[in-house]
Amino acid sequence: MKMKKYLCEPCGYVYDPEVGDPDGGIAPGTAFEDIPDDWVCPVCGLGKDVFIVEE
């Protein structure tokens, strides 16, 4: 099953689980749900609570 991408609503950054966020310590293949709660958007610095599922 393909993992969902998540959109940071305020800035438009898209978290793609296949890519991860290597600069933020998130390995490729990490589902959004498995990212630590203290992770923040690498573009605007806001938390996971502002992300929505990208349809």
Q: Which residues are annotated as a binding site?
A: 8, 11, 41, 44
Distances (CA, A) of 35 to 38, 41, 44, 49: 8, 11, 17, 12
Taken in order 4, 34, 50, 13, the sign of the CA dihedral is negative
Q: Which residues are annotated as a binding site for Fe cation?
A: 8, 11, 41, 44
